[in-house]
Amino acid sequence: MSNDAATTATPRAAGSPRPEQPVEERGLGASLPPTDARAKTEGTFPYASDLWAEGLLWAAILRAPHPSARIVSVDTSAALEMKGVRAVITHDDVPGDKGYGRRVADRPVFASTVVRHHGEAIAAVAADHPDTARLAAAAIAVEYEVLEPVTDPESAFEAPPLHPDGNLIRHIPLRYGDPDVTGEVVVEGLYRIGRQDPAPIGAEAGLAVPRPDGGVELYVASTDPHTDRDLAASFLGLAPDRVKVVVTGVPGATSDREDPGFQLPLALLALRTGCPVKLVATREESFLGHPHRHPTLLRYRHHADADGRLVKVEAQLLLDAGAYADDSAESLAAAVAFACGPYVVPHAFIEGWAVRTNNPPAGHVRGEGAMQVCAAYEAQMDKLAAKLGLDPTDVRLRNVLSTGDILPTGQTVTCPAPVAELLHAVRDYPLPALPKDSPEDDWLLPGGPEGAGEPGAVRRGVGYALGMVHMLGAEGADEVSTATVRVHDGVATVICAAVDTGSGFATLARQIVQDVLGIDDVRMAPVDTDQPPAGASCHGRHTWVSGGAVERAAKMVRTQLLQPLAHQFGMSTELLQIADGKITSYDGVLSVTVAEVLDGKELWATAQCRPHPTEPLDDSGQGDAFVGMAFCAVRAVVDVDIELGAVRVVEMAVAQDVGRVLNPAQLATRIEAGVTFGVGTALTENLRTSRGTVRRPDLTGYALPTALDAPDIRIVKLVEERDVVASFGAKAASAVPIVTSPAAVAAAVRAATGRPVNRLPIRPQAAVTHT
């Protein structure tokens, strides 16, 4: 593939063979498979739930049955008297900091005087058998004074405070341009986004092992081990060097893999009993305890001139954070900053709030903030097109961002922003063939092959959406990663605490070292907190920051490798190159294998990568808050049964701004996964509550998309326009299709039915057309 020009991937259906790629055996640009792919597909991968240790005890957690209550008393005596029970712990047994959180330490590990959400942890038990632990937890007697829950985020402003600092977590009033400007055409909308659970693959599990020095080791599927270590140390009242987190069994993640609420009781129980303690959370516990995507209420008013060019955008965004703050401040910043989408808007006035309620906690789920506003601003663009009698793609093309334009936050878009090119690509891609009209023919109805509908009630719709996300941390986050590359006996080892959650970082690190050093055998050291920190696995940061650190370390080793040769032949190292395992000089005089030059030597180097700093948004929502941005265009084709309201996504065509393709097969997989995730957001995924109580917290009540729900996914264009400030020029791959796909599906359902479709997921009644 070209490194500088736009490239077009071969369109294909999801699940069909990979498009043919140039034959490359190593390095960047090759389709190297993930090292753990075979083990995961064959079921031999050792997940955290498979951990074992001699003398193992089992943990269970007692959770509150109410969304809001005052705890009158907790009696653990019945549990302690049960045979096989080794320890029971509550809030009173915590020796160190009793709360945790990203910006505000407002979330207790165990509730003490008040319950703030359904499923909040009250106590934990360690016993010699998992059934005993669960029975003992159930035997703990808790007397509650049930309180009226605050479940409506709009009422949270005036409701009694759930925390000492009130219910308002953050308010961002973005002011950009002239508030008195109006457009010739105005469209308004009210939109609601539901509560999406990250639904991590595999059980959330961990093992805590006490150490002879009074410390503890935690074996968990962490995505940010150093943060988890520091949190555990403060909770246990220990120095950080007496707590070690070993990352094990990470199956994949769409948010934080392991919630600290599962990890911290384990560590305390291990220290209390002096034995290894294991916890395997049930799916119900994951639904109740893990943070979810923020449910959001969005009010919009778009002003445009008679030609469809945007004049002003006004919006009010309300994020329901649930019981605790978590990352709501960061999610709100993304929502406010991207509230106008990838469009040029000369005047923008956005009010954003994040508030606490007694609903389940919300937190980091990929594309947070950006996904919610994308669904709303794209619905507004469709409304604008309809009011002006324009094609939906035409009104978008008249307003799209490009490099050099200014966001409503005042930040100039300095990275490549080929938004118009992406939209042209999906618009011009051929539409799928229509199903035959005869009911005797074999074609899929909405609702599946056994769908109850009639072909005559099916309407096809085509919808478009443009989306954008930021990369790396924002608003002054210090992004830094450290990596070591060691070469010995012809084997290169990469030591970096970057956790591969399915992003492919481990494969990328191998490719980088192969490229720089010409060594085929590259291995990743297991990740633990004895290594320098690499930060969290989110926002594409490990490709950029950790990948950059690996590259720098590998180049330092390369210099060590080449310097003796360069000195021997009287030339600089820049005149030597490594390719296909050989070192050659520019003039062809020197040609020797890397293995011959190494000849038993051990070389190593450590390097850091730290992107340029950002700044927080000011009191008017202004500031250079983001390091970089990525863009995507999606065209959705759906069939809708207008009598039953059933929707089948026929095809999703995707064009994406990727900067540079580092691993073609892996990139295609990431995009397909993101699109499928977005289809679930659009149609099925909604963790429902009734007055704060989670209804059916299981995988029958919460409908995840399966392989049968995945549509044909056509990757019609990957624009490779390198971002000069990013490592390798590459951009984040999976978050932006997650953000954009739900809006495209909603647009297609609107086109098929003529209904407004202002809520995600789309309920069947919203797709029914009465004729």
Question: What local confidence, expressed as pLDDT, does residue 439 receive?
Answer: 53
535 touches 480 (CB < 8 A)? yes
pLDDT tens figures, 338-356: 999 999 999 999 999 999 9
pLDDT of 613 over the 90 cut: no
Which of 705, 731, 730 minimizes the C-alpha distance to 652?
705
Domains in the chain (CATH in brackets) are 48-147+215-267 (3.90.1170.50), 480-609 (3.30.365.10)
Decide: helix, strand or coil at residue 539: coil
- Mean per-residue pLDDT of the chain: 90
| 277-282 average pLDDT score | 94
pLDDT of 509 over the 50 cut: yes
- Which residue's structure tokens are 């605050």? 150
Decide: helix, strand or coil at residue 106: coil
| 688-717 average pLDDT score | 91
- 494: amino acid identity, one letter: V
pLDDT of 5 over the 80 cut: no
- pLDDT category of residue 89 using cuts at 50, 70 and 90: very high
Distance CA 2, CA 631 (A): 20
Beta strand extents in 356-476 (DSSP E only): 458-471
Output phi, psi for 681, to 5 deg: -60, -40
Question: What local confidence, expressed as pLDDT, does residue 720 receive?
Answer: 94
Least confident piece of the model among 285-289, 313-317, 334-338, 634-638 = 285-289
- Which residue's structure tokens are 């023919």? 441
| Residue 317: partners with Cβ closer than 8 Å, 6 or more residues away | 296, 297, 298, 332, 335, 336, 339, 350, 351, 352, 353, 372, 373
Number of H helices, E strands in the chain: 16, 31
| 438-463 average pLDDT score | 72
Distance CA 743, CA 466 (A): 8
Question: What local confidence, expressed as pLDDT, does residue 258 receive?
Answer: 61
Please give the angle made by the CA atoms of 261, 264 and 266, to the nearest 5 degrees: 110
Least confident piece of the model among 152-156, 222-226, 452-456, 662-666 = 452-456
Question: What local confidence, expressed as pLDDT, does residue 21 receive?
Answer: 42
Question: What local confidence, expressed as pLDDT, does residue 256 receive?
Answer: 57
| 150-177 average pLDDT score | 97
Distance CA 435, CA 460 (A): 10
pLDDT of 471 over the 70 cut: yes
Least confident piece of the model among 49-53, 125-129, 531-535, 584-588 = 584-588
| CA atoms within a 13 Å half-sphere pointing along the CA-CB vector of 80 | 11
Using only the alpha carbons of the chain, give its radius of gyration.
27
Residue 136 vs residue 577, higher pLDDT: 136
Calculate the alpha carbon distances from 25 to 32, 583, 669 in Å.
Answer: 8, 17, 19
264 touches 235 (CB < 8 A)? yes
- Which residue's structure tokens are 């609420």? 261
CA 75 to chain centre: 40
Please give the angle made by the CA atoms of 86, 88 and 90, to the nearest 5 degrees: 160
| 329-333 average pLDDT score | 95
| CA atoms within a 13 Å half-sphere pointing along the CA-CB vector of 607 | 19
- The DSSP call for residue 576 is E
657 touches 762 (CB < 8 A)? no
Question: What local confidence, expressed as pLDDT, does residue 25 receive?
Answer: 63
| 536-560 average pLDDT score | 89
| 511-540 average pLDDT score | 89
Least confident piece of the model among 37-46, 168-177, 675-684 = 37-46
pLDDT of 151 over the 90 cut: yes
**Assigned token pair, 62:** 């007692």
Helix (H) or strand (E) holding 271: helix 260-273
Distance CA 718, CA 716 (A): 7
pLDDT of 60 over the 90 cut: yes
Question: What local confidence, expressed as pLDDT, does residue 450 receive?
Answer: 58
Distance CA 468, CA 370 (A): 7
**Assigned token pair, 324:** 């605790």
Question: What local confidence, expressed as pLDDT, does residue 448 receive?
Answer: 60
pLDDT tens figures, 383-424: 999 999 999 999 999 999 999 999 999 999 999 999 999 999
pLDDT of 317 over the 90 cut: yes
pLDDT of 125 over the 60 cut: yes
Question: What local confidence, expressed as pLDDT, does residue 23 receive?
Answer: 43
- Distance separating the N- and C-terminal Cα atoms of the chain: 51
| CA atoms within a 13 Å half-sphere pointing along the CA-CB vector of 55 | 9
